[in-house]
Every structure is written in C-alpha cells, then in structure tokens.
Amino acid sequence: MDAISATIVRPIVILVDTIITTLAFLIFIPALIFKVVTSGTRTLTKMEEFANFALGLPLGGWIVTFAVGIAAPYAGPIRANFIKVSKEESIVEMTEWSWLRNPFSSIHACALSNVAEMCATLTGLCAMQAQKGVRIIPVAINSSYLKKARGTVRATCKVELPKVSGKYEANVDITNKQQVLVCQVKVVFDVKVENKES
C-alpha cells in the first residue's frame, strides 16, 4: 500500500514543495539584498549566520532545507525541517511519509540515521566555522533503535568540538511527538586542529 501511496502522493508533495520554495525565495531574495546592502558583501558567509537569517523570515526553513539539499542531495527525500541551527545545538524535524516507511509501518532505520547525521554534521560545521584552524569530517555512525518511530520525529544534537586533533563523538537523540526517545545515534568526527604555534 505504501508503494501505491508514494506513487500518487510523492509527485503532489514535490509540486507543493516547489511552490512553497518559490514563495520562500520571493521573500528571501529581497531580504538578502537589503541585508547585503546595509551590512556589506561579507555577510552571511557562515552557515550559522545564514541559517539564523533565513529562519527569521517567513518560510525561511524552506530556504535552509534547499541550501542543505544543494550541499547534500541525498538528504532531499527526508524533507528535513530545520528548527534551530547553531554551533552548540541543532534541531531538525522529519515527518513520516510513505516513502520513508519500512515494512513494519514505521520510519525506516536509514531515514532516522540520515536525519541524525545531517543534524550532527550541520552542528559540527557551525562549530568548525566558529573556530579558526579546525576541520572535521564524519567517519563513523552508530545507531541504536529503541522504539518504532512514527509521525514527526525530532533530532537534537549538541556539539562542543575539542581543542586538539582526534576523534570526537557527537550524540544525536531522536524523539517522537510525545518526547519519547526512539533512536540514539553516535556520529564520530575526525577533528583536525592546526597547530597555531607553527
């Protein structure tokens, strides 16, 4: 039944998404032009600045979703809704759609891992951009599925990058609408910190 539902619903959802994203850009572009004119051309060069600016506008979450989708096209089908983006914490929501379901009528494990990795990497990217000489890349992901995930789920990740090179583990908690923990994901980053002495 999910295959039939996805075949019918997905094209409609894509059309609606396209219309809403177009409206979001009609709001975003004049606001961006005004911001650049009043603040200078070097504004919004960091992800956290860009996301907070966009999220402050009507339909701004669609702009952030579009920007992340350009950088990571594989994330498009999960239709992430960005609630908060910062160097300390990011919050991303994902709604259950028929194309995200497994045969057990819950959100597929890979979709949960995908939204968790996106949330952790986005937080890590913001933290990296806030510190000079730091580079990160995710190298491992470990997911624990505690309950069936249904409806809208929320991924929350808090990051505090270390001051020295090495492995860093970011924890992502995924909860349902009742705030029950349904999945825990550990994303391991390889952190490189340039030696400022040399």
What's the longest Cα–Cα distance across the chain? 62
**pLDDT reported for residue 132:** 84
What is the pTM for the complete model shown? 0.83
- As to burial, measured by CB atoms within 10 angstroms (0-12 exposed, 13-18 middle, 19+ buried), residue 73 is exposed
Closest CA to 94 of 193, 194, 175: 175
Decide if pLDDT at 137 tops 50. yes
**pLDDT reported for residue 99:** 82
CA atoms within 13 A on the CB side of 48: 15
**pLDDT reported for residue 197:** 52
3-state helix, strand, coil in the chain (%, to 5): 45, 30, 25
- As to burial, measured by CB atoms within 10 angstroms (0-12 exposed, 13-18 middle, 19+ buried), residue 42 is exposed
Q: Kindly tell me the number of DSSP H helices and DSSP E strands found in the chain.
A: 4, 6
